[in-house]
Chain A
Amino acid sequence: MSTFPSDLRYTDDHEWLRPAGDAWRVGVTQFAVDQLGDITIVSLPKVGDLITKGQRFGSVESVKSVSDLFGPVSGVVTAVNGALDASPELVNQEPYGEGWMIEVRPSEKGELDDLLAPDAYEKLVAEQ
């Protein structure tokens, strides 16, 4: 049911990353969206905020539950998808497109090596 675009990197917290200039765009995967159900509130940091790999940087309220978003890498937030304030359903509709969440410029380049390739992420999901 889930699909994992081959041009993305992934984390074991079910986030995806895509290069965007000197930053990386971050969202949640179709697998995460399928688990969450309809999303009603997305809480995100502000541009200029620092996030840390593995630490909470935001949260997603779905109808049934709340889930934290964890930093896929450490760095500074360079963009935030403000459209999600009024239209959180974009995450359900286009998790890899209009439903993106933030862009982050990594401060620890080595952390990028820890990101999962699509086949590794697909394997992780298959085990869950």
Chain B
Amino acid sequence: MTAQRTPLWDLHRQLGARMIDFGGWDMPVSYKAGTLKEHRAVRESVGLFDVSHMGEAILRGPKARAVVDRLTSNAVAAAPAGKAVYTLLCRPSGGIVDDCIFYKKSDEEFFVIVNASNTAKDLAWLRDHAGGEVDIDDASDRTALIAVQGPAAVAMVDRLANASLATLPSFTFTDAEVAGVPCMVARTGYTGEDGFELACDNERAPALWAALYEAASTFGGLPIGLGARDTLRLEAKLPLYGNDLDDDTTPLEAGLGWAVKLDGRDFLGADALREQQAAGLTRKLVGFRIAEDARAIARHGYPVVDRANAEEPVIGQVTSGGPGVVVGGAIGLAYVPVARAAAGAALTIDCRGRDVAATVVSGKFYKRPA
């Protein structure tokens, strides 16, 4: 199978991007500046991300609100029109099918953006559980998505738009023309910075990217590859499906309880999550920082160990790890027993045969200045 290409593929090549396979897509991992400079550009000015590989679908019909309420852990269905809501799709076991954002257009129409690598799985899952009660339109192959993130992002996009986007509240969306291209503009992102995500038709995406690229250049902005997308989301402690979340982890374990609204609701997985909440968690996803003198990075899959348990030393697992590009040192996320999950708790991580000390850190590694 040849790798899929976004409508911006030619432009990435022209910009000197290094391409990698990501879930069947040929995507830029970094451009000429490199991951570290790209990361800093997003923290200091603005970065452009082609995230057109992500999946999109529209759920439509008179029963859409009821169906969406049954499928989502968060209060998506009851949200006012114009809201963008982060939610989990859960299995009856409480395990996570995917994490995604639903955009409520009305009680009869919802737009949803899902992880690229889960698009086929999610669409099948939505169709299986929507029971033919709503029309599900897979818009993935015709929809491009560009994220504009960083302290300069809002003013920059606002200036290119035919409407005032600077006043658009966080986690809301609207239709607007940006550089003459009709877009769905959402005040959302995956970097810990302010900014927008712009969805438009594939055919118009190169023109939109070109206008954004030109505007970003005047701010010292850069195009951003998947490498920096990962280091940015890690600093902001945003989980990544496939790394930190999967079919065998629940939102409560992952620290996403804020996106689970159980009160009086009956969504897929709700019973299991109620049970887990009542019984108490055994493990939790925590942030950690590697001891400064260790000169190591703990990566996905490395075991968290307790050498006092000679028989079974493995007590947890690292799910994400990398350099703290702006916050310094090496940081990561790991599932650990609840008894080891409090801020300040000492962890030992087996980094390729070497035991390395780490400390549990609460909250985001990086918080953007108010």
A interface with B by C-beta (< 8 Å):
34, 37-38, 40-41, 43, 59, 61, 63-66, 89, 92
Q: Which of B52-60, B197-205, B291-299 contacts A (4 or more CB under 8 A)?
A: B291-299
Give Cα A22–Cα B87 distance, bound, in whole angstroms. 64
**Does B34 reach chain A (CB closer than 8 Å)?**
yes
Minimum CB–CB distance from A71 to chain B (whole Å) comes to 18
Chain B, 311-327, contact with A by CB distance < 8 Å: what is the 0/1 string? 00000000000110100
Q: Which of B227, B297, B299, B330 contacts A37 (CB 8 A)?
A: B227
Chain B residues with Cβ below 8 Å from A64 are: 29, 35, 227, 230, 322
Give Cα A43–Cα B297 distance, bound, in whole angstroms. 12
Contact A61 B36 (CB under 8 A): no
| Given known contacts A34-B18, A37-B34, A63 and B299 CB-to-CB distance under 8 angstroms | no
Minimum CB–CB distance from A5 to chain B (whole Å) comes to 22
B interface with A by C-beta (< 8 Å):
18, 29-30, 34-36, 227, 230-231, 295-297, 299, 322-323, 325, 330, 352
Closest A residue to B297 using CB positions: A61
Closest A residue to B30 using CB positions: A37
Closest A residue to B324 using CB positions: A40
Minimum CB–CB distance from A69 to chain B (whole Å) comes to 13
Q: Can you list 19 contacts pairing A with B, beta carbon distance less than 8 Å?
A: A37-B18, A37-B30, A37-B35, A38-B30, A38-B34, A38-B36, A38-B227, A40-B297, A41-B296, A41-B297, A41-B330, A61-B297, A63-B322, A63-B323, A63-B325, A64-B227, A64-B322, A66-B297, A66-B352
Give Cα A57–Cα B104 distance, bound, in whole angstroms. 56
Chain B residues with Cβ below 8 Å from A89 are: 36
